[in-house]
Amino acid sequence: WSSDVYSSDLKNFYKYMIILFGSTGYIGTEFKKQLDLIKKPVFYWPNTSKTTFEDLERWYEDLNYPLIGAAINAAGFTGKPNVDACESLKEDTIHGNIVWPQILTDWCMLNDIPLGHVSSGCIYGGKREDGKGFTEEDEPNFCFKYNNSSFYSGTKAVAEKIVGRWKKSYIWRLRIPFEENDNARNYLSKLLKYDKVLQAENSISNKQEFVTACLELLLKNSPYGIYNVVNTGSITTDKIIEKLKTICDKEFELIDETQFYTGQSRAPRSNCVMDNSKLLAQGIKMRTVEEAIDHCVNNWKA
């Protein structure tokens, strides 16, 4: 990070603090790490599972209405070990992915606080009819409306409509996060666990680049709205496996969707390609998918 990514008035920049929700999660910890690195004044909200609108208001009043530059919502319910769990834990999924974003959005609207919301690209399936990746203007096609999605994907699509009501909101779409550090939430780590993997084409997001891009959009005062925060291009599972073979000695079996849903998955999975042109047009730099995966493989930390 350097000062050229901030708004021009650095005194003003440091006068306003950020509230980060979900700072202990997989993406939230990266937000915390990068915000600490740039020494931005931040309040880390401890837990959102039981937070009410009144709790937010009481905290705000008790601190005598501090100057808040933005609220960042990295909290949500993804299910463990994967989204299949959301099919059973529907109340938790609804609260984490719909009720909580509504509480936070209403509070930000009332107090005129900009909001950055971590969403997901899993609300799409496939590609556009013209063969290109989905843009921010394309309506989600993997959601409750079409009765074809996982419960998790359906709730994430609903949340975008809720957050989008606030004119000072960013919706940052994350897509299959990965990094060089072995982690249960890391897409590369997940692939290494299985002998049989689904052959599909996807856009994916390097975790560190995703968070950096979100913060740059926020700190540079980029236009509000939806952004597909993914690495440039897309990649198929077999190409990723070829790269992973340099760090592991095992054979993978590629399977199709019929085999996948018969043996490994309860919930439908989103496999999609997304366009990041809107993000790049803001001067945000994102490596290509191949470059980002090569970096992770070459710097793998088990």
Q: How high does pLDDT run on average in the chain?
A: 93
Determine the pLDDT at residue 8.
40
Q: What is the pLDDT of residues 130-176, one digit of tens each?
A: 999 999 999 999 999 999 999 999 999 999 999 999 999 999 999 99
Q: What is the pLDDT of residues 1-20, one digit of tens each?
A: 333 333 344 455 557 899 99
**What per-residue string of b and e applies to 256-287 under the rule 16 or more CB within 10 Å gives b?**
eeeebeeeeeebbbbbbbbbbebbeeeebebe
| Run of H or E residues at 280 | helix 277-280
DSSP secondary structure letter of residue 140: P
Number of H helices, E strands in the chain: 12, 12
3-state SS assignment for residue 207 = helix
Determine the pLDDT at residue 10.
45
Contacts of 153 by beta carbon, 8 Å cutoff, 6+ apart: 83, 120, 122, 123, 142, 143, 268, 270
pLDDT of 103 higher than 60: yes
Closest CA to 101 of 58, 156, 59: 156
The one-letter amino acid at 238? D
Give the pLDDT band (50/70/90) at residue 111. very high
Determine the pLDDT at residue 7.
39
- Whole-number Å distance between alpha carbons of 175 and 210: 9
- Mean pLDDT over 192-197 rounds to 93
Closest CA to 44 of 28, 27, 63: 28
Looking at the chain, the whole-number percentage of residues with pLDDT higher than 70 is 94
- Whole-number Å distance between alpha carbons of 101 and 75: 9
pLDDT of 75 higher than 80: yes
Determine the pLDDT at residue 263.
65
- Mean pLDDT over 84-94 rounds to 96
Give the pLDDT band (50/70/90) at residue 211. very high
Closest CA to 107 of 79, 74, 68, 140: 68
Residue 73 — φ and ψ, nearest 5°? -105, 100
Q: What ranges make up the beta strands (E) of the chain?
A: 17-21, 42-45, 68-73, 115-120, 169-174, 177-178, 196-198, 201-202, 205-206, 225-228, 235-236, 253-255
Contacts of 42 by beta carbon, 8 Å cutoff, 6+ apart: 17, 18, 19, 20, 32, 35, 36
Q: Which residue has the tokens 């063969």?
A: 131
Determine the pLDDT at residue 110.
98
Q: What is the pLDDT of residues 270-292, one digit of tens each?
A: 999 999 999 999 999 999 999 99
Determine the pLDDT at residue 260.
86
Q: What is the pLDDT of residues 35-68, one digit of tens each?
A: 999 888 999 999 999 999 999 999 999 999 999 9
Residue 184 — φ and ψ, nearest 5°? -60, -25
- Whole-number Å distance between alpha carbons of 43 and 116: 15
- Read off the pTM: 0.94
- As given in the structure block, the two tokens for residue 252 are 């993978």
- Whole-number Å distance between alpha carbons of 182 and 179: 8
Determine the pLDDT at residue 258.
86
- Mean pLDDT over 13-33 rounds to 91
